[in-house]
Amino acid sequence: MEDKFRKIIAKMQEADSIVIGASNGLSISEGIHIFADNAAFLENFGDFREKYGFRSIIQGCFYPFPSEAEKWAFFSRMYNYFLYKQEASSVMKNLYELVKDKNFFVVTSNIDDHFRQAGFPSDRLFEIEGNGRNLQCTIGCHDQIYPGDEILSEMVTKQVDGKIPADLIPTCPECGGPMQVHLEVDRNFLKGEAWQNSFQAYQDFIDNAHRKKIVILEFGVGARNQLIKAPLMNLTNQEEYATYITFNRGNELYIPDAITAKSIGIDGNIAEILERLVQMK
User: What are the residues binding Zn ion (CB under 5 A)?
Assistant: 137, 141, 172, 174-175, 177
User: Which of 177, 256 has the CB closer to Zn ion?
Assistant: 177
Give CA–CA dist 81/45, Å, rounded: 9
Least distance to Zn ion from the beta carbon of 173, Å?
Answer: 8
Would you tell me how many other CB atoms lie within 10 Å of the CB of residue 21?
A: 27
Answer yes or no: is 137 a known binding residue: yes
- Write the burial class of residue 215 (CB in 10 Å: 0-12 exposed, 13-18 middle, 19+ buried): buried
Torsions phi, psi for 215 (to 5 deg): -110, 130
Query: What does the buried/exposed string (b/e) look like for 129-143 if buried means 16 or more CB atoms within 10 Å of the residue's CB?
Result: ebbbbbbbbbebeee
User: Which of 9, 141 has the CB closer to Zn ion?
Assistant: 141
**How many residues comprise the chain?**
281
Which candidate, 80, 126, 122, 100, places its Cα nearest to that of 278? 100
User: Which of 139, 278 has the CB closer to Zn ion?
Assistant: 139
Least distance to Zn ion from the beta carbon of 147, Å?
Answer: 17
User: Which of 165, 177 has the CB closer to Zn ion?
Assistant: 177
Q: What phi-psi label fits residue 111: left (phi over 0), alpha (psi between -120 and 50 degrees) or beta?
A: alpha
Least distance to Zn ion from the beta carbon of 172, Å?
Answer: 3
User: Which of 10, 175 has the CB closer to Zn ion?
Assistant: 175
Give CA–CA dist 121/265, Å, rounded: 27
Answer yes or no: is 61 a known binding residue: no
Least distance to Zn ion from the beta carbon of 244, Å?
Answer: 42
User: Which of 141, 201 has the CB closer to Zn ion?
Assistant: 141
Least distance to Zn ion from the beta carbon of 174, Å?
Answer: 5
Give CA–CA dist 128/228, Å, rounded: 9
Give CA–CA dist 78/86, Å, rounded: 15
Least distance to Zn ion from the beta carbon of 138, Å?
Answer: 7
Complete edge-to-edge strand list for the sheet that includes strand 179-183: 146-147, 130-137, 179-183
Binding-site entries for Zn(2+): 137, 141, 172, 175
Binding-site entries: 137, 141, 172, 175
